[in-house]
Structure 1
Amino acid sequence: MFVEQGGRCAICDQFLSDSQKRPAIDHDHMTGVIRGLLCDPCNKGLGHFRDRLDVMRRAVEYLESAKNKTVPQYRYEFFQSGASK
């Protein structure tokens, strides 16, 4: 499987040898069928979404819809500084 994937994560395409951890063997938690090898961040990302495609699709839609939004008064740095209006 490692060779079939070209030594890369099946999701982000990062070289698995660049990761500090061993590749994660991703599997379907209902059937046990192995889906592929993932880097640690991608494996954890799937875990956080609990393999729910509906939630992952909404996350993609959210990111795509927010891509062109610009609301300067609500920048991340503002919240990090502890400032308030």
Structure 2
Amino acid sequence: MLRSGKALEVSSKEFELLKYFICHSGETLSRDRLLEEVWGYENFPTTRTVDTHLVRLRQKLEPDPEQPQYFLTVHGTGYRFVG
């Protein structure tokens, strides 16, 4: 993956998460749905896995990770990708 002409390293799970967001652009996706669809968890404990991976994607892809433009938090619901 390239950003500004430079190689960008992403883990396989970060790539899967990014691909899922792109395929569902504009939709609000719950953590549960992301865990089920990207990680394949049918029954899962409360986890911050999605949050952790999303923080990494923001750090790698957002112009300013503290003010996200592409990976938006929908409070109380989940996340939305706009890009």
Relative to the length of structure 2, the TM-score reads 0.22
Q: Compare CA radii of gyration and give the structure with the larger one.
A: 1
Of the two structures, which has the highest relative contact order with CA contacts closer than 8 Å and spacing of 6 or more?
A: 2
Whose strand proportion is higher, 1 or 2? 2
